[in-house]
């Protein structure tokens, strides 16, 4: 026991030194945090360490040696991309454990075990992990994507499935999807500069996707990339993605003792979310409420938000749930599909591998059939350098692609 106590004290001293090295550079210089309060935290850190030791389980999966308080965070960093995790699986096996501060992360890389987690025991593992920032952007789980698996999740899923995720919806809106995609092809064909200088195609695809989803959600459409409402919507959603995907708040999320230093960051998130939800409500949701109220019992549901508002009027969900469904669609449907399109174009993906996502498959197919896509003149290849995020891997620099029309 004496040996264990000495070892613990030694690790605690090492941890104190580690606090002063990396966080002196990050916290003190970037956040203007004085050194004295950190030193005052040392007794709490010692208590935290001994408390964690007392709750340690001997049945955990293998993994790299962790240090007190920080776990493996200082070893592996923030960006747990697929290449890093695959290399670690070669060392520690198909199931291994990473300790990120106070949080345990189990990594499963074996296909059969992954099937157990995702399918056979899907109920047990159905809830997505939340953190201090996503609690703000989801109203502590009032949405569907990040809510805890249970009655609320099932209710939200049922309400969202009918207007968004059925074969009937695909059939109902497929002509509209193709109309918006044909406009992209038309714009590329009439712009001769895209054949040599290229274009940041993400911007045009962004307008297409917003129009597709906003026509489905609100029966509304943006006129162009210069439309003030389009500029406002994309600005809000881009800033939301930047704050949520950033690694800048990990230290406070992984190590609760350091969470007070996140107050400024969290306040920025709260301010953005308040203005963002007000934007969705004032310009889109309330407009449909007024149309429904004016039509009364004669109103026919003509878009997704009508169906969702109807569910609220029946008492199935509340007004905040309505807004968080809109929030989910703006990020989970629009932004993630946009990232996928950018990867597909930059990497020259075959459309056949993405037909499970009809919109993504259709637009890539149209571009492949109508254009030869290549790097602009003066560039050897398209830049596909990666940029990590909390939940996804992005292209670091939005790709400039040249589109040469294919003459039949």
pLDDT single digits (tens) 11-58? 444 444 444 444 444 444 444 445 555 555 555 555 555 555 555 556
pLDDT at 355: 35
Confidence tier at 122 by pLDDT (50, 70, 90): confident
Q: Are residues 251 and 348 in the same domain?
A: yes
User: Among 149, 181, 216, which residue terminates a domain?
Assistant: 149
Q: Are residues 95 and 202 in the same domain?
A: no
Q: Are residues 265 and 313 in the same domain?
A: yes
Domain span at 67: 2-149
Highest mean pLDDT among 8-17, 68-77, 101-110, 208-217: 208-217
Q: Are residues 212 and 349 in the same domain?
A: yes
Q: Are residues 166 and 80 in the same domain?
A: no
User: Among 134, 149, 164, which residue terminates a domain?
Assistant: 149
Q: Are residues 144 and 191 in the same domain?
A: no
Mean pLDDT of the chain: 82
pLDDT single digits (tens) 286-324? 999 999 999 998 999 999 999 999 999 999 999 999 999
pLDDT at 3: 43
Q: Are residues 212 and 282 in the same domain?
A: yes
pLDDT single digits (tens) 223-267? 999 999 999 999 999 999 899 888 888 888 888 888 899 999 999
Q: Are residues 287 and 336 in the same domain?
A: yes
pLDDT single digits (tens) 329-387? 998 888 878 887 877 776 664 443 333 468 888 888 899 999 998 888 888 787 777 76
pLDDT at 18: 46
Q: Are residues 28 and 100 in the same domain?
A: yes
Who has greater pLDDT, 397 or 271? 271
Q: Are residues 177 and 319 in the same domain?
A: yes
Confidence tier at 10 by pLDDT (50, 70, 90): very low
Q: Are residues 139 and 167 in the same domain?
A: no
User: Among 119, 149, 179, which residue terminates a domain?
Assistant: 149
Confidence tier at 214 by pLDDT (50, 70, 90): very high
> How many separate domains does the chain show?
2
pLDDT at 177: 94
What's the 3-state SS for the chain?
CHHHHHHHHHHHHHHHHHHHCHHHHHHHHHHCCCHHHHHHCHHHHHHHHHHHHHCCCCCCCCCCCCECCCECHHHHCCCCCHHHHHHHHHHHCCEEEEEECCEEEEEECCHHHHHHHHHHCCCCCCCCCCCHHHHHHCCCCCCCCCCCCCHHHHHHHHHHHHHHCCHHHHHHHHHHHHHHHHHHHHHHHHCHHHHCCCEEHHHHHHHHHHHHHHHHHHCCCCCCCCCHHHHHHHHHHHHHHHHHHCCCCHHHHHCHHHHHHHHHHHHHHHHHHHHHHHHHHHHHHHHHHHHHHHHHHHCCCCCHHHHHHHHHHCCCCCHHHHHHHHHHHHHHHHHHHHHHHHHHHHCCCCHHHHCCCHHHHHHHHHHHHHEEEECCCCCCCCCCCEEECCCCEEECCCCEEEEEECCC
Confidence tier at 102 by pLDDT (50, 70, 90): confident
Q: Are residues 173 and 251 in the same domain?
A: yes
In this structure, what CATH number is given to the domain that contains residue 311?
1.10.630.10
């Amino acid at each position: 026991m004496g040996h264990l106590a000495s070892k613990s004290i030694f690790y605690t001293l090492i941890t104190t030194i580690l606090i002063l090295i990396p966080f002196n550079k990050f916290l003190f210089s970037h956040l203007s945090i004085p050194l004295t309060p950190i030193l005052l935290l040392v007794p709490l850190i010692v208590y935290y360490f001994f408390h964690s030791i007392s709750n340690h389980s001997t049945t955990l999966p293998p993994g790299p040696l962790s240090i007190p308080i920080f776990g493996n965070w200082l070893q592996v960093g923030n960006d747990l991309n697929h290449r890093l995790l695959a290399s670690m699986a070669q060392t520690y096996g198909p199931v291994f454990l990473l300790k990120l501060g106070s949080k345990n992360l189990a990594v499963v890389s074996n296909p059969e075990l992954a099937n157990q987690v995702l399918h056979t025991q899907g109920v047990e593992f159905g809830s997505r992990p939340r953190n201090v920032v996503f609690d703000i952007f989801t109203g502590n789980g009032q949405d569907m994507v990040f809510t805890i698996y249970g009655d609320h999740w099932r209710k939200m899923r049922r309400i969202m499935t009918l207007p968004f995720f059925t074969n009937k919806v695909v059939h109902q809106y497929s002509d509209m999807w193709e109309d918006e995609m044909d406009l992209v092809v038309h714009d590329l064909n009439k712009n001769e500069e895209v054949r040599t200088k290229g274009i940041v195609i993400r911007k045009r695809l962004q307008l297409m996707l917003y129009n597709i989803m906003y026509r489905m959600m609100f029966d509304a459409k943006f006129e162009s990339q210069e439309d003030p409402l389009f500029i406002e919507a994309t600005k809000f959603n881009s800033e939301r993605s930047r704050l949520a995907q950033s690694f800048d708040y990990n230290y406070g999320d992984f190590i609760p003792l350091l969470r007070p230093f996140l107050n400024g960051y969290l306040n920025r998130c709260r301010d953005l979310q308040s203005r963002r939800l007000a934007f969705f409500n004032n310009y889109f949701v309330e407009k449909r409420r007024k149309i429904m109220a004016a039509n009364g019992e004669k109103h026919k549901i003509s878009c997704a938000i009508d169906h969702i508002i109807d569910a609220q009027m029946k008492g199935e969900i509340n007004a905040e749930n309505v807004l968080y469904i809109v929030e989910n669609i703006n990020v989970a449907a629009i932004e993630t599909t946009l990232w996928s399109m950018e990867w597909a174009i930059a990497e020259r993906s075959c459309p056949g591998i993405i037909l499970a996502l009809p919109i993504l498959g259709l637009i890539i197919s149209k571009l492949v059939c109508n254009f030869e896509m290549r790097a602009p003149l003066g560039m050897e290849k398209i830049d596909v350098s990666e940029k990590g995020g909390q939940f996804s891997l992005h292209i670091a620099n939005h790709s400039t692609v040249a589109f040469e029309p294919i003459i039949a």
